[in-house]
Structure 1
Amino acid sequence: MKPFSEIEIKEQLKEFADWTYNENAIHTSLEFDDFKDAFSVMTRIAFEAEKLSHHPDWTNVYSTLQISLSTHDAGGVTNKDFELAKIIDALVS
Structure 2
Amino acid sequence: MINYERAMEILKNRIEMAEKWPDMDAPDEWWEEMPKILSRNQKETEKFLEERTSKELFFLGEIFEDIAYEFKTDSFIQFLWNLHKKHPKAELEEDIKRAEEAI
Same fold by TM-score, threshold 0.5 exceeded? no
Q: Which has the higher contact order (CA 8 A, sep 6+)?
A: 1
Please tell me the TM-score bracket, short chain as reference: 0.3 to 0.5
**Structure richer in strand, relative to its length:** 1
**Structure richer in helix, relative to its length:** 2
